[in-house]
Amino acid sequence: MQETIYISLTLAAAAAVITLGFVFVLFRRISRLNLGNKKVEELQKYIHDGAITFLVREYKLIIPFVLLVGVLLTVLGFIPAFQGSDGIGWQAAICFVIGAFFSAAAGFIGMSVATKANARTAIRAQKEGMSGALKTAFSGGAVLGLAVAGFGLFGLVAIFLVTYLITKDIAYPVQILTGYSLGCSLIALFARVGGGIYTKAADVGADLVGKLEAGIPEDDARNPATIADNVGDNVGDVAGMGSDLTESYIGSIISCLTMALFTFKANANSYKFLLFPILICAVGVIASVISTIIVRSKKWSAPHLALNIATYIATGLVVLASVLLSIFFLNEWKFLVCIIAGLGAGIVIGSVAELYTSDKYKYIKQIAKETQTGHATNIISGLGIGMKSTCLTTICIVLVIALAYFFGEGYGISLAAVGMLCTVGITVSVDGYGPIADNAGGIAQMAGLPEEVREITDKLDAVGNTTAAIGKGFSIGSAALTSLAFVLSFIKSTSAEITLSNPTVIIGMLVGGMLPFLFGAMTIDSVGKAANKMVEEVRAQFKNDPDILQGIHAPDYNRCIDISTKASLHEMIAPGLLAIVAPLAAGLILGVAGLGGLLIGGLVSATMLAIFMANSGGAWDNAKKYIESGVFGGKGSDAHKAAITGDTVGDPLKDTAGPAMNILIKLMSIIALIFVPVFINVEPLWDVIVKLLTGI
C-alpha cells in the first residue's frame, strides 16, 4: 500500500512540476517578444504598472487578515475539545497559509504575463496576422491556466506527501488539507470581489462619459478612464479569475478526498479511492500542457476552432486515462461514469452559456431587435433571457448530480466535480485569452495601429467574449457540484438531521437563500459608488481641459487608476466579511442543523443568481457588439445607445456579483466544515432560548 501511495503522489507532483516548468517557458517567450513601437510600449507600461500596483496593495491588505486566521486556527488547536479536528491546529494553519500563497501566486503570475501579452498580441497582429496574434494571446492565457492547475496541484500533493511520510496515516493529510482549501478560498474571495469592483467601476465610468456623453469610441486614448478599464480587465478577469478557479480546482479535489474518507473507511483499498482523484488531476494538467503545445505548433485562421480543439484534446486524453485508471487501478468501472459525466457537463454547460450569449443564436438577435424601441425594452429583454437561461443549465447540473449519485453516491458527486475541473488548465487558458485579446484591441486603437490590426483584434475579442461566457458557465457548474460535495461532507461529519420538521433548518434555508441577494447587492452597490467617482473624475478632466477631447493634451490616466484602486479595496471588505461571518453566526445561533439549512438555501439561491447574472450580462454585452457590427443602425444609432445602457447595467452582474456567487457558496461550505467541532461543542443560542422559554 505504502509503495502505491508514494509512487502515485510522486507522479502527481512530477506532473505539477512539469506544468509549472512549461509556465516558466511560456512566460519567458512572451516577455522576450520585441514590441518595437514606443506608443504601444508606453500604453502597455501604464496597464502593467496599474495592475501590479493594485495587486500589491490588495495583497498588503489581505496578508494581515490571512495571518490572523492562521493564528486563530492555531489557537483553537490547543483547546482540548478541538484537538484532532479537521482543519484546526497549527498544521492546518500552515496549510492555510500555503493555500493562500499559491492562490495569490497563480493570479499574480497570470496577470503579470497578461499585461505583457496584450501589447505583443497587437504587434503580432500587425506583423504576422491572425495566426501570430492568436498564438500570443492564447499563450498568455495558457500561463494563467497552467499556473492555476500547476500551483494548486503541487501545493496539495506536497502537503499530502510530506504529512503522510511523517504520520504514515493516510487520513491525516485529508483532515488538514481543508485548511489549504480555506486559504485558497479567502484569497479568491477578495481577489474576485476587489478585482470585479475595480474593473466594472472603470468600465462603467468610461462608457457613461466617453461613449454616451462625449460620443467618442470605446478604447479611445482621449478617455481618462480607458487605461483603468484595461487595467481592470487584468485584475478582475485574469488575477481574480485565476484565484477563483484555483479555489474551485482545489475545493473539488479536497471535497472528493473528504467524501472518500467517509464512504470507504471500512474498505481495505480505501487509499485507492483517495489517490484516484489526484491521479485524474495529474493526467489533466499534463493533458492541458499537451493540448497547449499542439495548438501553439500550428497556424490557425479561425480562433474559435483552435480554442475548441484545445479543449477537445485535453478532454479526450483525460477520458482515456480515466478508463485505464478505473479498470487497472480501482478495478471499478462505475466511477468512470462520474468522471465522464463531470467532463461532459462542463462542455454542455459552456454550450448552454454560448447559446444565450453568442450572436450566432437567436437570443442575442432578439435583444438587438427589441433594443430598437429604446433603453427599457433592451433591459426587459435581457432580464427575461437571463432568467430563461437558468432552466437548461440547472437541468444539466441536476442530471449530472443524479447520474453521479446513482453510480457513486456522495463520492460520485465529488468525482463529477473533479471531472469537470481536472482540465482546468486548458479551460482557464481559453478563458484567460479573452481579456488579453480585449486589451490588444484597445491598445491597437489607442496607439493608432493600422485598421487591419484592429479588425484582427476585434475578431479575437469577439471569440473572447464567447469564451468568457462559457468560462462563467463552467465556473458556476463546478462551484455548485463542489459546494454540494462539501455540504454532504458537512452533514456526514455532524450526523445532523436536516429535516423540515426542525424549525432551525427552515430558518437557515430562508436566511441562506437571502444571503446571495444581500451579498450581490453589496457588490453591485460598491460598483455603483466607485463608478460614480469615476464619472465625476472623467467629467472634471473634460471640463477643466477641453484640449483633451481635441487630442491636443493627454488625460491624466493615473487619477482614474487611483480612484478604482482605492474604491475597490475599500468596498471589498464588507462583502468579504459577510461571507465569512454568516456561516459562523448561523452555526453558533442555530446549531449544525440550522447551518446545514443555511448552506442548502445559499447553494440553491446563489447558483440561480450566478447563472442569471452571467448570462444576462453576457447577452447585453454581445447584443451591443452585434448592433455595432452594422445592424439596426450600427454605431451611434439610438439602438446602439440603448444597447450601451444594457451593457452598462450588465457589467457588474456578469463580472462582479455573478462570479463572486461561486466563491460565496464554496467559502461558506468550507468554513462550516472546518468549524464543525466548534458548533458541536458549543450549545447554540437557539437551544438556550428554547430552554429559557420552556422553563418560564
Out of 147-151, 201-205, 666-670, pick the least confident.
201-205
Confidence of residue 472 (pLDDT cuts 50, 70, 90): confident
Would you say residue 508 lies in a domain? yes
| Sign of the dihedral through C-alpha 355, 358, 360, 364 | positive
Would you say residue 130 lies in a domain? yes
Would you say residue 496 lies in a domain? no
For position 97, what pLDDT does the model report? 92
Considering only residues 307 and 521, tell me which one the structure prediction assigns the higher pLDDT: 521
For position 83, what pLDDT does the model report? 62
The pLDDT of residue 517 is above 90 = yes
Tell me the mean pLDDT in the region 275-293.
93
For position 5, what pLDDT does the model report? 84
Number of domains the chain is built from: 1
Beta-carbon contacts of 444 under 8 Å, excluding residues fewer than 6 positions away, are 122, 125, 126, 453, 454, 457
Tell me which range, 64-68, 176-180, 515-519, is most confidently predicted by mean pLDDT: 515-519
Which long-range contacts (C-beta less than 8 Å, at least 24 apart) are formed by 166-173? 168/2, 170/5, 170/270, 170/271, 170/274, 171/261, 171/265
Element (H, E) at 460: helix 451-494
Tell me the mean pLDDT in the region 99-104.
90
Confidence of residue 284 (pLDDT cuts 50, 70, 90): very high
Q: Which three cell numbers stand for residue 276?
A: 484516484
For 390, half-sphere exposure in the C-beta direction (CA atoms, 13 angstrom radius) is 16
| Sign of the dihedral through C-alpha 687, 690, 694, 696 | positive
Q: How far apart are CA 533 and CA 265, in angstroms?
A: 57
Question: ∠ at Cα 186 (672, 277), nearest 5°?
Answer: 70
Q: Which three cell numbers stand for residue 418?
A: 473533479
For position 695, what pLDDT does the model report? 67
Buried-exposed string 484-506: b where 16+ CB fall within 10 A, e elsewhere: bbbbbbbbbbbebebeeebebbe
The string of pLDDT tens digits covering residues 530-539 is 888 888 888 8
- State the average pLDDT for the chain: 86
Containing structural domain, residue 144 = 2-490+501-695
The string of pLDDT tens digits covering residues 247-268 is 888 988 988 888 888 777 766 6
The string of pLDDT tens digits covering residues 558-606 is 888 888 888 888 888 888 888 889 999 999 999 999 999 999 999 999 9
The three-class DSSP label of residue 629 is coil
For position 84, what pLDDT does the model report? 58
Q: How far apart are CA 307 and CA 145, in angstroms?
A: 13
The pLDDT of residue 519 is above 80 = yes
Provide the residue type at 10 as one letter: T
The pLDDT of residue 16 is above 90 = yes
Would you say residue 235 lies in a domain? yes
Would you say residue 495 lies in a domain? no
Q: How far apart are CA 152 and CA 184, in angstroms?
A: 9
For position 13, what pLDDT does the model report? 93
The pLDDT of residue 696 is above 60 = no
